[in-house]
Amino acid sequence: MVSKAYIFDFLRDLSNNNSKDWMDDNRDRYHNAKERWLEEIDLILQRLSKHDSFFTLFKPKDTVSRINNNRRFNKDRPLYKDYFNCMPMSGDDNFARIAIAAGISWSFIGGGLHSPDKENLDRMRAAIDYDGEVLKEILDKKEFQDFFGGLAEDKHELKTAPRDYDINHKHIDLIKRKNFTATTNLAQKIVVSDSFVDYVEEAYLILRPFTDYVARALTVE
């Protein structure tokens, strides 16, 4: 078994030589790095399944994206991503219980509701309108603040109140949002450590009250 440091060695070289020719010449390295990442995901899924049977629905390969970038609408993107990810989501899921990216330009762990469609955004706002104090209490907990620092910045947040909401609503800071995610940067030394699975489990358990709130909001008819 190759070390987890091998993953970053490969991704760093890929980042510095992002071309089809280089990838073709290093295809074996790519597969070795990917397989090592999948082995780590397998351990993560086993651990998280002790808390939620949802994670038993996935094989490691079901949770990763292709390394090829989608350049259909952005030709300036490099051909290949310089990170591996893990996002256990079924076809019906609208939010992430846990999301991980480990690489050179992008490394984080988090979860939540990202870029929802209008229907799910409306549901989330309606939930906050009804019992936003519950969400506030979750977000204000010390362990959540210490680990994630609150909700992630939302660059698409509205500058004023959305239609049907008063600008003086007591939870307008949340209602104006278009994304409801919590993330924290993921250092390479954590990923390659022997305690990485423990770290992911800790992140998941801290995140879970928040993602449970999102789940309830999106299932209200």
Residue 92 token pair: 């019906």
Helices (H) and strands (E) in the chain, counts: 8, 4
35-83 pLDDT, tens digit per residue, is 999 999 999 999 999 999 999 999 999 999 999 988 777 777 889 999 9
10-30 pLDDT, tens digit per residue, is 999 999 999 999 999 999 999
Give the CA angle between residues 75, 71, 7 to the nearest 5°. Answer: 115
pLDDT at 114 over 80: yes
The pLDDT, as a whole number, for residue 91 is 81
Please give the mean pLDDT across all residues of the chain: 95
The pLDDT, as a whole number, for residue 100 is 98
Tell me what the mean pLDDT of segment 1-7 comes to.
92
Note whether 155 and 211 are within 8 A (CB). Answer: no
Higher pLDDT, 71 or 3: 3
pLDDT at 172 over 80: yes
Prediction pTM value = 0.94
Length of the chain: 221
Longest dimension (CA), the chain: 60
Can you name the residues that pair with 103 across neighbouring β-strands?
Answer: 83
Note whether 92 and 105 are within 8 A (CB). Answer: no
118-152 pLDDT, tens digit per residue, is 999 999 999 999 999 999 999 999 999 999 999 99
Q: What single string gives the DSSP state of each residue in 62-96? A: GG---SB---SS-TTS-SB-SEEEE----TT--SE
In CATH terms, the fold of domain 5-219 is: BirA Bifunctional Protein; domain 2 (3.30.930)
pLDDT at 2 over 90: no
Tell me what the mean pLDDT of segment 86-115 comes to.
95
The pLDDT, as a whole number, for residue 1 is 75
How many other CB atoms sit within 10 Å of the CB of residue 28?
8
The pLDDT, as a whole number, for residue 221 is 63
Rounded to whole angstroms, the Cα distance separating 63 from 133 reads: 33
Domain boundaries, the chain: 5-219
Rounded to whole angstroms, the Cα distance separating 204 from 98 reads: 6
As a whole-number percent, the residues of the chain with pLDDT over 70 amount to 99
Tell me what the mean pLDDT of segment 177-201 comes to.
97
